[in-house]
Chain A
């Protein structure tokens, strides 16, 4: 049982090595990748059950007991997000396989896609599970390095441009992260999160604020918090649909998780965290308004992604059990729904041959299945009852309403941002699905691995997207038990004792 938290990291790394070894056989690579991610999903489910029943599951690597060694900690929050993330990664993998982007489509097999995909999911798992600040840094590097390769795999001028922005910004935030780790170590002589939660409390308040802000900026860049979001809408849309879906679903949420973990464990507040509430307002509004100006469907979705990061930041800014519970539920829902929307956008682009909204039209008549697949996640993201988005948003609004005048004002912004989201998505609906069918745009480069402007779409692409739609519907259907879990997550995060005792083995 205590070795269990190592599996979500080890399995994908081993799987990645295996996929390199069997690089000649695409079929073997596919089987290995699918099996690995399914196994990780199973382990994550077991971890969630165990953590919910009997507290955090801790693995001390190499037998070095914390705070000396590296500890992997699976508590309710990390296990829940790990489970949702892995399910999304699995569905996106199925989509990618059937789109044949992995094997460079019609030309040759590629040895990079599957290994990098698995390395990325290993990094994501490690980020959720790591119990110290430096391992968190390493996990971000694993994750980001894999993502650099995935985003620049197609070396066209577009992807190179997107890749440059993305890599430079990520690298900068990583170096800042490392600086923050150094500072934290200088001040406290430890990097273990549980140990830090006790030692940081003894620091002078000024120093504590500096450390808190440094970590906030670092994860703010990676989580696309306005005003540190500018890289995201420029880089994400240029990758192939499955890669964008994977990034949109996982990467920003991992950073948000890291922000929640560090801020709640190390720098707790009594009452609302005003600075974060301001950032939440800016993020929600800038993202939603930015989305209204876009003509490229993927850029529009990227701005909505940014906007809805703000909803989670709001939950963190409220800083009480209910707010954190709502933020966790929102993150779980957000991972699923954004990945779904980007996959659907991939299907739409494949059908129409263009990303420009003003050159599409009439898809409701030509491909009604797509309309259904788009409508459900779109309504979920906008938070129309009875979808998962509504349930999560309701929790956030309740938390805001109970937390005092500041959060109430921000809760009003949440409602405005929801309407703007609905408006942006309604614009997509009108442009893409209504009107008279627009002519399909020819594939500009018929030789590359990305086939667009074709009516032939393999059924597993639809199936994977539909699978994610079902997951997001399931979040709504099981909202009761799920908010039970996230409610306990919120209490855990504020109490902090459960985490410390599980890691360090004794009460403070």
Chain B
């Protein structure tokens, strides 16, 4: 298997390529949301897309795994499988971390939306005094529950 062969003769079938494409688009779309739950699902979907991609680069489907006494040409390439396995573990660990973060955000703030940056808004206000005030302008260390209100204000 030389590099040139793979480039000239694509081994990926269209259905799989489209599946990967759809998984990527859905994943990116979900990651653009403010709610951490949607971001989380986006990460999971995107992770699946990536793992599928890793599987696809290992050659055409329906080859046997690298066990037994079959001739080496019939084996599936084991390296992408090893890479995908590692990637699955990593994505899994980070998914649980994001879940924990979302839950923590829910207990502290009451929702899991990514907040506006108070400091950014303060600086924006220097130029445009009409922009909404950071509700906790006095104390940027501990913004507490007020964030909820300011977030809604922004949304309107």
Contacts and interface: CB of A to CB of B under 8 A. Distances in A.
Interface of A: 134, 138, 141, 145, 148-149, 152, 155-158, 160-161, 163-165, 167-168, 171-172, 174-175, 178-179, 181-183, 185-189, 191, 199, 202-204, 207, 234, 293-296, 299, 354-356, 444-445
B144 A188 contact: no
Nearest to B98: A167
A202 B4 contact: yes
A163 B114 CA distance: 9
Interface in B120-147: 120, 122-123, 126, 139-144, 147
B59 to A, nearest CB: 9
B109 A189 contact: no
B7 A203 contact: yes
B7 A204 contact: yes
Contacts of A134: 83, 86
Contacts of B79: 185, 191
B7 A160 contact: no
Interface string B69-95: 000000001011001001100110110
A156 B142 contact: yes
* Centre residue among B3, B43, B123 by max chain A CB count within 10 A: B3
17 contacts: A145-B97, A157-B144, A161-B115, A164-B114, A164-B115, A165-B114, A167-B98, A168-B43, A172-B31, A178-B87, A182-B57, A183-B53, A187-B6, A189-B77, A296-B119, A296-B140, A444-B139
B26 interface: no
Contacts of A185: 54, 57, 79-80, 83
B53 A155 contact: no
Contacts of B101: 152, 160, 163-164, 167
B56 to A, nearest CB: 8
Interface of B: 1-4, 6-7, 27, 31, 36, 39, 43, 46-47, 50, 53-54, 56-57, 77, 79-80, 83, 86-87, 90-91, 93-94, 97-98, 101, 104-105, 108-109, 114-115, 117, 119-120, 122-123, 126, 139-144, 147
Contacts of B43: 168, 171-172, 175
B114 A161 contact: yes
B108 A157 contact: yes
B3 A155 contact: no
Given A174-B90, A182-B83, A355-B140, 11 more contacts: A141-B90, A149-B97, A160-B108, A160-B109, A167-B98, A171-B94, A172-B31, A178-B87, A182-B54, A189-B3, A207-B7
B88 to A, nearest CB: 11
Contacts of A191: 79, 83
A224 B90 CA distance: 23
A182 B53 contact: yes
Nearest to B82: A134
A165 B86 CA distance: 25
A179 B117 CA distance: 31
A163 B54 CA distance: 29
Contact of B122 (A138, A163, A202, A295): A295
Nearest to B144: A157
B39 A356 contact: no
A199 B3 contact: yes
Given A167-B101, A203-B7, A296-B119, A158 B54 contact: no
Contact of A157 (B1, B98, B139, B147): B147
Contacts of B57: 182-183, 185-186
Contact of A203 (B3, B31, B86): B3
A70 to B, nearest CB: 11
Contacts of A145: 90, 93-94, 97
A181 B86 CA distance: 13
A174 B77 CA distance: 23
Contacts of A155: 104, 108
A134 B83 CA distance: 8
Contacts of A299: 119
Contact of B3 (A163, A171, A187, A445): A187
Contacts of A188: 3, 6
A252 to B, nearest CB: 20
Contacts of B53: 179, 182-183
Nearest to A163: B101
Nearest to B36: A164
B6 to A, nearest CB: 6
B86 to A, nearest CB: 6
B97 to A, nearest CB: 6
A164 B86 CA distance: 24
Contacts of B117: 161, 234
Nearest to B11: A186
A187 B57 CA distance: 9
Contacts of B50: 175, 178-179, 182
A444 B6 CA distance: 62
B10 to A, nearest CB: 9
B6 A186 contact: yes
A158 B83 contact: no
B85 to A, nearest CB: 12
Nearest to A235: B117
A16 B101 CA distance: 23
B37 to A, nearest CB: 11
